[in-house]
Amino acid sequence: MKKIRITTLGCKVNQYESASFQSSFAEAGCEMIAADGTADLVVINTCAVTAKAGAQSRQAIRHALHANPMARLIITGCYAEAASEELLDMPELAGRSFSIIGNAAKQLVVETALQEGEVPERQMADIMAATEICRLPVDRFGDKTRAFLRVQDGCDSYCTYCIVPFTRGPSRSLPADEVVRQAAIFAEAGHKEIVVTGIHLGHYGRDLAGGPDIAGLLDLLSAALPAMRYRISSLEPLEITEGFLQLIADRDNLMPHLHIPLQAGDDEILQWMNRRYGTARFAEIIALCRRHLPDAAIGIDVMVGFPGETEAHFQRTSDFIAGLDCTYLHVFPYSDRPGTRAATFRGKVAKVEKARRVASLLNLAEEKKTAFHRHQLQRRLPVLVESQRGPDGLLRGFTDNYVPVRFPGPDSLMDSIVTVELLALHDTTVIGEVRER
């Protein structure tokens, strides 16, 4: 019985794909081991979305080689796709059994890992010529209460800062019947919530003749498995329509939680980024969301320190976000990605200045989140209870609108959906109690 360890960096799509590898290894009779055990095979599913992610990918490779001196190493994911030549030149890989597998060939990961004898050092296909999504079914998403379901891969947007279109290729969608089938497998495995995810989720279905768009897919899923809760990972602002929002409002099992990338709150920076909206349009979309889903969690991505971003640009971004009725922010500094247009732009912002701007927006983010949580107090909301208690011994989970809450209760409530009244805010933690509906 071969012992397998899988290390996953990056996005929810990577996490889904790693869950598929784990399912296939288990089917082959392999044993998955924890981080402190020695493995026969190590799979590292890498990320390249930022320079830091690339560095973390290289670090994970070095750690795996050191901790598992006799193991075969499989390196896949976006960093493997973008930097296979650099990986081949890593001195640590000399004399080791390894294979670098690109994103367009991820279906070969398990087969290659279990292959007897020597394996190819590199297995790459032309990701830009990919026309179909890799079929990577999953039996169970580990021991988690919620599962990620990848329904789309690739991106055609080519924002100037982003390497992802070059590492993931053009947009490809999983046919709707296969999506529903995978969701049913998750339901049978006992998962209570599915996070529907993709690289550019709002482009779902555009490559499928006669297939539904993302709203149509959610309509199908929520009707086919009404006991399952569905959460949407991220949608671009121009892909959020009134009909889409009304569908969420009408279906109890579609969670009122939206994550919408903004990236900058200044129109000039948005143009340089090749984003296809301005701040006025973005504000209209947030207002539309609030009209249909007044208590929804609305998260926003923001990038600071884009080349050419002055203090005035940043202040406009900060002021714009301060005026938005949003719930939380994901804030990250710009980093050059070789091969992108922005990597050639002038006016690079100093690292220390980027850090200052990140810290400033994180303070604003904390204010937004605290205000939203305080506004939810005294409400009774459905909570999916996690399978492990928090450090304080209390049960924990998320409300339908993504408020993390802790509350007393027996273990029998784990992995179930209960009604919890949100009673108090202690520092950054919402405390509640289980109530009858």
217-222-225-226 Cα dihedral, nearest 10 degrees: -170
Could you list the pLDDT tens digit for every one of the 437 residues in the chain?
899 999 999 999 999 999 999 999 999 999 999 777 789 999 999 999 999 999 999 999 999 999 999 999 999 999 999 999 999 999 999 999 999 999 999 999 999 999 999 999 999 999 999 999 999 999 989 878 899 999 999 999 999 999 999 999 999 999 999 999 999 999 999 999 999 999 999 999 999 998 899 999 999 999 999 999 999 999 999 999 999 999 999 999 999 999 999 999 999 999 999 999 999 999 999 999 999 999 999 999 999 999 999 999 999 999 999 999 999 999 999 999 999 999 999 999 999 999 999 999 999 999 999 999 999 999 999 999 999 998 999 999 999 999 999 999 999 999 999 999 999 998 888 999 999 86
CATH class, domain 3-125, is alpha beta
Report the predicted TM-score, pTM, of the whole model to 2 decimal places.
0.95
Please indicate whether the domains covering 3-125 and 380-435 agree at the CATH topology level.
no
Which pLDDT value is given to residue 143?
A: 75
Are 163 and 337 in contact by the 8 Å Cβ rule? The answer is yes
For residue 287, give every residue at least 6 positions away whose Cβ sits within 8 Å of its Cβ, in sequence order, or none.
325
Q: Which of 190, 244, 241 is nearest to 222 (CA)?
A: 244
- Identify any residues that bridge with 76 across adjacent strands, giving them in sequence order: 45, 101
Of the candidate CATH numbers 2.40.10, 2.40.50, 1.10.1760, 2.40.128, the domain formed by 380-435 belongs to 2.40.50
Which pLDDT value is given to residue 362?
A: 98
Are 196 and 254 in contact by the 8 Å Cβ rule? The answer is no
Which pLDDT value is given to residue 437?
A: 63
For residue 38, give every residue at least 6 positions away whose Cβ sits within 8 Å of its Cβ, in sequence order, or none.
3, 67, 68, 71
How far, in Å, are 32, 47, 66, 193 from residue 4 at the CA level?
Answer: 5, 20, 16, 27
Are 169 and 153 in contact by the 8 Å Cβ rule? The answer is yes
Task: Give residue limits of the domains in the chain.
Answer: 3-125, 380-435
Report which DSSP code applies to 254.
Answer: B
Helices (H), 323-385: 351-375
